[in-house]
């Protein structure tokens, strides 16, 4: 039966597919799959093996809690992955490298490095692995690093002392006094060598991962992105550096200070390096484009996609014959996998979204992980011109038992008379002859998009199953609609976005099925900023209630966030240079006009939008005697990631809307029956 209403419990029963890796011959793919328990309030990730020719999926690992980042060895005989386990009486305090044969058996730890492993890549000989670890740059040798880590972990003081401009990221402090270096592990002996030891080189400190470096096909060179500035900042422009693994000599491959380079990838013959590059020296919103360096070209490089108005998202993968590059890019609320032909400088869609979340390329096979508004992520293999072949059925039974509403993409006239996209998700068994409340779900960013994707934290079907028609407007500033559209809101945040959302509301109010007195708006991050902005800009009664999750409230106080060096670029000035300009874009400036009831949600571990923003907004509303409620999580970050907290989040979300629904409508009468 397909008549069960989707709810938060169902969301946490879905199995979530993560990273994928193709075997060298393209015959098999390994992927990580996460399962969650509402009762245990936690998740576990294991590796699964899939045939690219079809057939039943096979679970590969069973003992680990968080098995992830799988990668095949060059000869296809082993699969390495990152995990924290207990093996042979030794329990990992930090993530370590493990390997398992694709035909099964027990995974084995293939090295132990006390600082832990962040990401890795096999060297072409299959005997060594390059991996990332945070180390004290002034120390030399594995034993000394291990000793210092032990001393640090056993210290009694808990303070974090730093002189760095960049010291935290999203939800964690960067390891104090440490930097990310690339190391090499000899698989047979377990010996570890720090390739950057004794130098000033390091990987970018914000989320260092395996996409930030690559190894040449002959195994003799390593290329990586590096911030050359003495003071590391999240928005500094990175250069590409190549290390000769035999001589230990470093060479700067790119020397243009106006361009930001990243995601390097050697061509199959090693003659070229592809990367993404953006001219952020000219405009901080400049899109990432595909660039190509010829090795030995003394810093010469060329843009390949400069006339293609899309943002290229790394990682990049070469076609086997080096004639093209594969990457994902957004296009009007969808994220496709593209094939970019180098000779003709033309892009074609290799695999359509939905939303391509990840992919890999080997031999003549493409494998993708992609979801859509109508289903969670699925794994497909594509060969040549053949239709994609579905490789797994992890969630089919659960999804078949749920009744989902229809989704629709519409275009309306927004700010400046320009077309604006809006996604609609209808309640199950929607009838245009009935009346429905409307809920705006406003995306964050602002340079992101509401897309054709199955969102677990803001799932439009779970919202719609409560009886709402859910609207997601891709307002000016959203990604995937060209650079001019994205950049149009710079230095005047709130202005065009509000016009677009209001245009969406006007469109909805003209529909005979909209209950005009039952319109609500909710948003997270920049979407939270927007609902706070709306509360100070729009007449009371236009919306019956707002929900503000992790929203920005005061741009001066927001200087406590982890991305403060972007503020002047986005807002047009530092707050001390032109306080009036900055505050004119702050919801707090218009607090006197705020009268609409608001649920404020925030997490204490949110460093992108620190929780003082939400607390200040809530306190302001309470001081003004505006109806408000606070949901604050001491153990969540910018998102709500724990199953029980997610259930509480959805419960508070829906209770708040029901409380302020003037029609006092009955959910039982409107929702799809169980």
Per-residue pLDDT of 408-438, as tens digits, reads 999 999 999 999 999 999 999 999 999 999 9
Per-residue pLDDT of 76-124, as tens digits, reads 999 999 999 988 788 999 999 999 999 988 899 999 999 999 999 999 9
Average pLDDT, the chain: 95
d(Cα 252, Cα 263) in Å, to the nearest integer?
15
Count CB atoms within 10 A of the CB of residue 387: 8
Per-residue pLDDT of 612-652, as tens digits, reads 999 999 999 999 999 999 999 999 999 999 999 999 999 99
**Among the listed ranges 44-48, 293-297, 589-593, which one has the minimum average pLDDT value?**
293-297
Chain centre to alpha carbon of residue 60: 26
Compute the Cα dihedral for 384, 387, 393, 395 and give only its sign: positive
CB 30 within 8 A of CB 48: yes
pLDDT of residue 233: 95
Give the chain's count of helices (H) and strands (E): 12, 42
pLDDT of 323 above 90: yes
pLDDT of 8 above 70: yes
DSSP class of residue 575? T
**Among the listed ranges 214-218, 255-259, 556-560, which one has the minimum average pLDDT value?**
255-259
| Strands 469-474 and 436-442, sheet pairing | parallel
**Residue 664: pLDDT band by 50, 70, 90 thresholds?**
very low
Mean pLDDT, residues 540-546:
96
H-helix segments, 1-103: 8-11
Chain centre to alpha carbon of residue 258: 26
Mean pLDDT, residues 196-224:
97
d(Cα 514, Cα 432) in Å, to the nearest integer?
9
Structural domains for the chain: 253-372 (2.120.10.30), 405-670 (3.40.50.1820)
pLDDT of 359 above 50: yes
Chain centre to alpha carbon of residue 70: 19
CB 193 within 8 A of CB 127: no
For residue 650, give every residue at least 6 positions away whose Cβ sits within 8 Å of its Cβ, in sequence order, or none: 7, 8, 462
**Residue 665: pLDDT band by 50, 70, 90 thresholds?**
very low
| Main-chain phi, psi angles of 495, to 5 degrees | -70, -65
pLDDT of residue 670: 43
**Residue 671: pLDDT band by 50, 70, 90 thresholds?**
very low
Length in residues, the chain: 674
Closest CA to 99 of 67, 125, 130: 67
Query: Counting Cβ atoms within 10 Å, is residue 105 exposed (0-12), middle (13-18) or buried (19+)?
Result: exposed
**pTM of the predicted model as reported, rounded to 2 decimal places:** 0.94
Closest CA to 412 of 404, 401, 396, 423: 423
Per-residue pLDDT of 225-274, as tens digits, reads 999 999 999 999 999 999 999 999 999 999 899 999 999 999 999 999 99
d(Cα 33, Cα 16) in Å, to the nearest integer?
5
Per-residue pLDDT of 117-167, as tens digits, reads 999 999 999 999 999 999 999 999 999 999 999 999 999 999 999 999 999
Chain centre to alpha carbon of residue 382: 24
């Amino acid at each position: 039966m397909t008549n069960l209403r989707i709810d938060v419990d169902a969301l946490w029963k879905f199995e979530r597919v993560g990273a994928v890796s193709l075997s060298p011959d393209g015959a098999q793919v390994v992927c990580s799959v996460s399962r969650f328990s509402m009762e245990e309030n936690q998740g576990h990730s294991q590796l699964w093996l899939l045939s690219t020719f079809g057939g039943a999926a096979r679970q590969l690992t069973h003992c680990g809690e968080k098995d992830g980042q799988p990668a095949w060895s060059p000869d296809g005989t082993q699969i390495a992955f990152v995990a924290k386990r207990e093996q042979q009486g030794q329990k990992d305090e930090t993530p370590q490298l493990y390997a398992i044969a694709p035909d099964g058996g027990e995974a084995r730890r293939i090295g132990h490095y006390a600082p832990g492993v962040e990401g890795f890549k096999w060297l072409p000989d299959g005997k060594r692995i390059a991996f990332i670890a945070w180390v004290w740059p002034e120390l030399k040798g594995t034993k000394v690093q291990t000793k210092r880590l032990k001393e640090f972990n056993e210290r009694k003081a808990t303070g974090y002392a730093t002189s760095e401009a960049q010291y935290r990221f999203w939800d964690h402090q960067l390891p104090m006094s440490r930097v990310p270096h690339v190391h090499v592990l000899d698989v047979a002996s377990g010996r570890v060598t720090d390739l950057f030891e004794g130098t000033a080189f390091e990987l970018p400190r914000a989320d260092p991962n395996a996409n930030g470096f690559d190894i040449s096909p002959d195994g003799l060179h390593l290329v990586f992105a590096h911030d050359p500035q003495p003071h590391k900042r999240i928005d500094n422009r990175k250069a590409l550096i190549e290390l000769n693994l035999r001589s230990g000599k470093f060479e700067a491959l790119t020397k243009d200070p106006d361009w930001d380079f990243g995601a390097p990838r050697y061509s199959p013959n090693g003659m070229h390096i592809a990367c993404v590059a953006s001219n952020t020296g000219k405009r901080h919103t400049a899109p990432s484009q595909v660039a190509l360096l010829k090795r030995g070209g003394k810093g010469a490089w060329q843009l390949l996609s400069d006339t293609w108005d899309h943002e290229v998202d790394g990682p990049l993968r070469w076609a086997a014959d080096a004639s093209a590059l594969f990457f994902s890019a957004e296009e009007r609320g969808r994220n496709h996998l593209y094939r970019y032909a180098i000779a003709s400088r033309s892009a074609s869609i290799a695999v359509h979204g939905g939303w391509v979340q990840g992919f890999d390329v080997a031999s003549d096979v493409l494998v993708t992980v992609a979801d859509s508004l109508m289903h969670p992520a699925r794994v497909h293999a594509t060969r040549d011109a053949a239709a994609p072949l579905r490789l797994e059925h992890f969630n089919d039974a659960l999804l078949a038992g749920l009744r989902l509403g229809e989704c629709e993409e519409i275009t309306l006239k927004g700010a400046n008379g320009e077309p604006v996209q809006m996604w609609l998700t209808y309640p199950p068994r929607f009838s245009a002859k009935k009346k429905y409340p409307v809920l705006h779900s406003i995306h964050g960013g602002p340079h992101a998009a509401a897309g054709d994707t199955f969102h677990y934290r803001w799932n439009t079907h779970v919202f719609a199953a409560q009886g709402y028609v859910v609207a997601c407007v891709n307002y000016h500033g959203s990604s995937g609609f060209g650079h001019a559209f994205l950049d149009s809101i710079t230095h005047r945040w709130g202005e065009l976005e509000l016009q677009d959302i209001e245009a969406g509301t006007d469109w909805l109010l003209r529909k005979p099925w909209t209950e005009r007195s039952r319109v609500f708006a909710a948003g997270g991050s920049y979407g939270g900023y927007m609902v706070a902005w709306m509360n100070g800009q729009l007449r009371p009664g236009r919306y019956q209630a707002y929900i503000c999750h992790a929203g920005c409230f005061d741009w001066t106080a927001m200087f406590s966030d982890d991305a403060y060096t972007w503020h002047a670029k986005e807002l047009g000035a530092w707050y001390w240079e032109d306080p009036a300009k900055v505050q004119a874009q702050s919801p707090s400036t218009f607090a006197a006009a705020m009268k609409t009831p608001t649920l404020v949600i925030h997490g204490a571990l949110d460093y992108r939008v620190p929780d003082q923003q939400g607390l200040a907004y809530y306190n302001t509303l309470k001081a003004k005697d505006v109806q408000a409620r606070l949901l604050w999580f001491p153990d969540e970050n910018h998102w709500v990631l724990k199953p029980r907290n997610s259930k509480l989040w959805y419960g508070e979300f829906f209770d708040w809307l029901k409380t302020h629904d003037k029609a006092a409508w009955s959910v039982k009468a409107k929702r799809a029956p169980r």
